[in-house]
Amino acid sequence: MSDRTGSRTARSGPRRRETRVAYGFLTPWIVGMVVFTIGPILASLYLSFTDYTLLSPPEWLGLENYQRMLEDSRLHKSLLVTVQYVFVSVPLQLALALGLAMLLNRGVRGLPIYRSVYYLPSLLAGSVSIAILWRQIFGSEGLVNQLLAKVGVEGVSWVSHPDYALGTLVVLNAWTFGAPMVIFLAGLRQIPSMYYEAASVDGAGAVSQFFRITIPLLTPIIFFNLILQMIGAFQSFTQAFVVSGGSGGPADSTLLYTLYLYERGFGSFEMGYASALAWTLLVIIAVLTGLNFLFAKRWVFYGD
Amino acid sequence: MTDLTTTTGAAVRPAARADPPARRISKHALLIVFGVVMIYPLLWMVSSSVKPTEVIFRDPSIWPREFDLGNYTGGWTALEHPFQHYLWNSAVIAIASIVGNLLSCSLAAYAFARLEFRGRRILFAAMLATMMLPIHVLIVPQYVLFSQLDWINTSLPLIVPKFLATDAFFIFLMVQFIRSLPRELDEAARMDGCGHVRIYWRIIMPLSVPALATSALFTFIWTWNDFFSQLIFLTNPDLYTVPVALRSFMDGQGETAWGQLFAMSVVGLAPIFGFFLAGQRYLTQGLATTGLK
């Protein structure tokens, strides 16, 4: 994995040849990274300082797009919606994932069946099909209200109510707890059983074992899931787009950041402004990831 | 005493048999109830796809009282093209993406896992960084690039990047896997005078089938579900893939034809469900290994 000391001088010949071979293997990836990743990132930084509608060449604006962002009240609404969505749905999803993983970890008979049932929604939830289903389920005469009617409760049209529409998307994201659950299960299995044996010899109960053994030893996995799911949640698009019919409505209550970006970029072809939005998203995600790593030092326990 | 054994059972699986029956039953009851709640919407959608639309809005049960495939035959031809047209468009993109990802990502992974070269650390870090990068940051300039290449309304923007290993996640997954393979095998092959290309193709690739299967399955599922980039790059109805077609179905006439919409949504989910059943082991294992490293 790391350079062996001394190999540099002793084997510089073979190593140089290996470098050439390596770059041969890496060529497709490097070309792809330059053309489709680094190039676009730099291009969008440039475009973010311009007015560009695809029809005429970009026109330099300086910081105007960013100033506009400061005054754009729909953008502020959209940021608020996104933050609410991410910070409610991800903890909910991870709590479910960990809870179910704990239940399943105790050598439950039929584990593969339970795991499949819980995991399946994670694979399907990103599809338009499920978004369509959600729109019906949480509609005025949808499944949820049909079931509520059975117990005598009259529901509202959840997807078209500004107070609840985002909630339906939070539920949808929580529904995908299966993927982090599978990762938690694998992590739980790596905790040596002797820790629990030793703890119970010392008279530690289930609760204290959970907080003093399971949680501390699982922190790297919790951290990994947190990063992954937060980045994923910031990128949610399909569900909000389909459920709101492409508008982010009602009353912009489901206008996730990505929807607003799509609307500016591909609805009205304001490519310059959309680039400024995209770069801001990049900075937000980078800062959050950085903060996560920073705080991780305090609470993530990496063993030896 | 019993309490202690149940809690210690957390990590020792056989010990779980020592769970008192009442506890075991209540745990299974909890797991089953929760599982039913999880899966109920899916079952209800499948069942509703054979119900007349009016019934969908009245009947929360998952047992259809009447069984009518009319939604399927009607929905299949409700759009501009018969539905197999959209399935085909999606399948072409998905299959090309699988081939592209497997080839290009495994090449890069071989270099990272097995070769010593200048700049490896920094390139590896760059690879990890691109893994975290949201597509939304890149989509505007990519759109500009593709429109200048005249690739909008072709499947090229969705396929060509896959042949250039832009899904760094799979490079990472394959690096992890290849590192776990014993090096003695390649070293023996080196002794026999094999070059790196042959070691890659003849030794590492065949041994990496589990990682390749995981990558193929995830590529399929993600491409099949992908809506954002297909919505942006494919605006010509002839090129619509399943997600884009379903969305236009819903916006067009879907609100009055929920039965047909559900039927076609089920058709759209069926391939994913099939691959899930066939390759579940690879999916969960792949997911678990990426999380643990």
Q: What's the pLDDT at A252?
A: 96
Residue-wise pLDDT for B263-274, tens only, equals: 999 999 999 999
Q: Which of B6, B10, B291 sits opposite A186 (nearest CB)?
A: B291
Residue to test with chain A: of B131, B140, B287, most A Cβ within 10 A: B140
Distance CA A141, CA A146 (A): 7
Q: How many other CB atoms are found less than 10 A from the CB of residue B37?
A: 10
Place of tokens 């919505």: B231
Q: What's the pLDDT at A146?
A: 92
Question: Where do the domains of chain B lie?
Answer: 2-76, 83-183+211-292
pLDDT band at B8 (very low <50, low <70, confident <90, very high): very low
Q: Which residues pair with A59 in a beta bridge?
A: A51
| Strand extents, DSSP E, chain A | 50-51, 59-60
Q: Which of B58, B141, B246 sits opposite A132 (nearest CB)?
A: B246
Q: With contacts defined as CB-CB under 8 Å, which chain A residues touch B254? A: 132
Q: With contacts defined as CB-CB under 8 Å, which chain B residues touch A7? A: 116
Tell me if the domain spanning B83-183+211-292 has CATH number 1.10.3720.10: yes
pLDDT band at B40 (very low <50, low <70, confident <90, very high): very high
pLDDT in tens, chain A (304 residues): 444 444 444 455 667 788 999 999 999 999 999 999 999 999 999 999 999 998 889 999 999 999 999 999 999 999 999 999 999 999 999 999 999 999 998 778 888 899 999 999 999 999 999 999 999 999 988 999 999 999 999 889 999 999 999 999 999 999 999 999 999 998 998 888 888 889 989 888 888 888 888 999 899 889 889 988 998 999 999 999 999 988 998 999 999 999 999 999 999 999 999 999 999 999 998 898 888 888 887 788 776 4
Is B196 in contact with A271 (Cβ distance < 8 A)? Answer: no
Is B136 in contact with A237 (Cβ distance < 8 A)? Answer: yes
Distance CA B279, CA B219 (A): 13
Q: With contacts defined as CB-CB under 8 Å, which chain A residues touch B276? A: 116, 120, 123
Q: Is the dihedral of CA B26, B31, B32, B34 positive or negative?
A: positive
Distance CA A148, CA A142 (A): 10
| Residue B235 in tokens | 């605006």
Q: Decide if B268 touches A, using CB distance below 8 A.
A: yes
Residue to test with chain B: of A4, A136, A176, A239, most B Cβ within 10 A: A136
Is B200 in contact with A132 (Cβ distance < 8 A)? Answer: no
Q: Which of A32, A179, A246 sits opposite B287 (nearest CB)?
A: A179
Q: Decide if B183 touches A, using CB distance below 8 A.
A: no
Is A242 in contact with B247 (Cβ distance < 8 A)? Answer: yes
Q: In chain A, whose CA is at the least distance from the CA of B290?
A: A183
Is B224 in contact with A18 (Cβ distance < 8 A)? Answer: no
Residue-wise pLDDT for B147-184, tens only, equals: 999 999 999 999 999 999 999 999 999 999 999 999 99
ipTM of the complex: 0.89
CA dist list (Å): A2 to A48, A162, B112, B116: 40, 55, 11, 9
**Residue ranges of domains in chain A, CATH in brackets:** 7-47 (no CATH), 68-299 (1.10.3720.10)
Contact status, residue B285 vs residue B173, Cβ threshold 8 Å: no
Which DSSP string do the residues of A260-297 spell out, in sequence order?
Answer: HHHIIIIIS--HHHHHHHHHHHHHHHHHHHHHHHHHHH
Q: Which of A108, A183, A221 sits opposite B31 (nearest CB)?
A: A108
Q: Which of B136, B144, B222 sits opposite A271 (nearest CB)?
A: B144
Residue to test with chain A: of B137, B138, B190, most A Cβ within 10 A: B137
Residue-wise pLDDT for A135-191, tens only, equals: 999 998 899 999 999 999 988 999 999 999 999 999 999 999 999 999 999 899 888
Distance CA A126, CA B243 (A): 10
Contact status, residue A160 vs residue A140, Cβ threshold 8 Å: yes
